[in-house]
Structure 1
Amino acid sequence: MVPEAGQAPDSQGRLRWSKVPEVTIYFWIIKVLCTTVGETAADLLNEKAGLGLTGVSVLTSALLAVVLVVQFRTSAYRPGVYWPAVALVSVVGTLISDDLSDNMGVPLETSTTVFALLLVIVFVVWYRRERSLSIHHIDTTSRESFYWSAVLSTFALGTAAGDLVSERIDLGYWLSAVLFAVVIAAVAIAHFALDLEAVWSFWIAYVLTRPLGASIGDYLSQPAGDGGLSLGAVVTGALFLAVILGLVIYLSVTRRDVAVPEHASGHTA
């Protein structure tokens, strides 16, 4: 990576600024919105593109690869680059999971297990290499590679697990969203009141926000006969994209979610 002015790497090759945002309320709002956009965009592309799930998956994966190249070439967190990458990861993760279950006939139990194991493998290799899974230290190419691998795994896992829960429990979109919101709230309580470790609290919540956002998106976009509000995928996606754009512009201007790695202040990472 080529550092920007005033942001040279230290002796260990680490950049002064982290490549991911600080975890604030803005982070979680945009993340859920990106998840909803990913769900509606995947459904819309599958219906309108005429390429089939596999073709759309390949196309969006190629677009994601381009955006990630731009993300890796930046020397610090940039909202206008980072969040489009998250949105595309959401689309790709959804399409991969749907392709496995709908086209290849892979049971949701199997895909959920496989994606969970994949995420565990990413975490194990990441920790063995870096001795930490903290997102506050995404300041090298290696750490960023592990981070995005984990993010993609969480979206695929969240899609498969969310579909599995919705099929087995059959609560409907609205009650499913409430269920996942309650579980996320329980994780937050466990973290703040019972000292659940911050890294695991984050990643558990990150996985769960995927089915939460998907349930919200389906509730808004699906026909009333199926338990939705009949807004349609286009209106729902456009509405959420507008909110995401507004928040990204706000954060780009205010830099309220810029995180500085601890070693930049004299601490070890």
Structure 2
Amino acid sequence: MEKLNSAVAKVPEITLVFWIIKIAATTLGETGGDAASMSLNLGYLVSTIIFAVVFLIAVVAQVKADRFNPVLYWVTIIATTTVGTTLADFADRSLGIGYAGGSLLLIFLLLASLLVWYRTMGSVAVTTVSSAKAEMFYWVTIMFSQTLGTALGDWTADTAGLGYSGAALIFGGLLLALVIAYYATQIPRTLLFWAAFILTRPLGAVVGDFLDKPIANGGLAMSRYGASIALVLFILVCGSIFRQRPAEAAH
């Protein structure tokens, strides 16, 4: 597994298309997770178990693949967003941790994952994700970031009282600030990447809630199934029109 092509990483090149698909995938994770746990009445725990199995299968397939496969990569990303949605909802609502408590716990786990990854591999840059060990750290970190995003998005929209549109503006503004920092400062690109990666998840969470929550609660009351299908089609169109290349691996 460690003898992979050293010229390329097994993750996509970071481009504008990457971020567009990432936001769509995180929004799909919210609508898809809610469709299973609420619309199908499976509950948060059962939905989490189902999506966790899908996530584990996808990660194993991703790690075993000998090169970057965009379909497999985005299926794995979507799996992390759906399990992140139901897991965060289970912790926040069923276990009674609350949005704030869940967010703090997940921030700790995310930072711990990044720290262990850095101390073990010497870098947390996506360009180093070309070995099985680096991939495992990568996907564990993403799992924590996706779950954190759901809790953070719900906390901002509900507990903080900003509503879905207000929370979307907040997270959208923070992402815009990161874009400006990318072009106007010398802040390490790896730090900016992970900050943006984390922030796209709560943005997707509140946008997903805005689409499918009742009008009385500030949403558009769209069908969760319809919204999910539309997002899947959007991702497929983007992936078909814009060819994604693997990131160049660090030497």
- Give the TM-score normalised by structure 2: 0.94
Amino acid in the other structure paired with 2:121: E
Corresponding position of 1:257: 245
Which residue of structure 2 lines up, in the alignment, with residue 108 of structure 1?
99
Indicate the residue corresponding to 2:89 in structure 1: 98
Structure 1 stretch 212-221 or stretch 83-92: which is displaced more? 212-221
Aligned to 1:234: 225
Q: How far does residue 192 in structure 1 lie from its aligned partner after superposition?
A: 1.8
Aligned match of 1:201 = 192
- May I ask how many residue pairs the two structures share in their alignment? 251
Alignment match, 1:190: 181
Q: What is the SS of the residue equivalent to 2:248?
A: coil
Residue 223 of structure 1 contacts residue 232 of structure 1 at CA under 8 Å; is this kept in 2? no
Between the aligned partners of 2:175 and 2:72, the Cα distance in structure 1 is: 27
Q: Deviations over 1:216-252 (max 9, x none)?
A: 122222232222222221111111110111222334x
Q: 1:164 to 1:48 in 2, by over 3 A?
A: closer
User: Which residue is equivalent to 1:6?
Assistant: none
124, 135, 154: which one pairs with 2:145?
Answer: 154
How many Å separate the matches in 2 of 1:45 and 1:116?
26
Q: Partners of 1:239 and 1:161 in 2: how far apart?
A: 25
Cα distance in 2 for residues equivalent to 1:131 and 1:145? 15
SS of residue in 2 equivalent to 1:19: strand
Runs of 4+ in 1 over 4 A off after TM superposition: none
Unaligned runs of 5+ in 1: 3-8, 263-267
The answer on whether the counterparts of 2:156 and 2:163 sit within 8 Å (CA) in structure 1 is no
Q: 1:75 aligns with which of 66, 91, 94?
A: 66
Identity of aligned residues (%): 30
Higher gyration radius (CA): 1
Greater mean alpha carbon deviation, residues 79-88 or residues 52-61: 52-61
**TM-score calculated relative to the size of structure 1:** 0.88
Contact 1:23 1:257 (8 Å CA) reproduced? no
* Distance in structure 2 (CA, Å) of the matches to 1:218 and 1:163: 9
CA RMSD of aligned residues (A): 1.6
Give the 3-state SS of the residue equivalent to 1:76 in structure 2: coil
Q: Which moved more, 1:191-200 or 1:56-65?
A: 191-200
Distance 2:18 2:227 in 1: 20
State the alpha-carbon separation in 1 of the partners of residues 171 and 34 from structure 2. Answer: 21
Q: 2: distance between equivalents of 1:108 and 1:36? A: 19
Name the structure 2 match of 1:247: 238
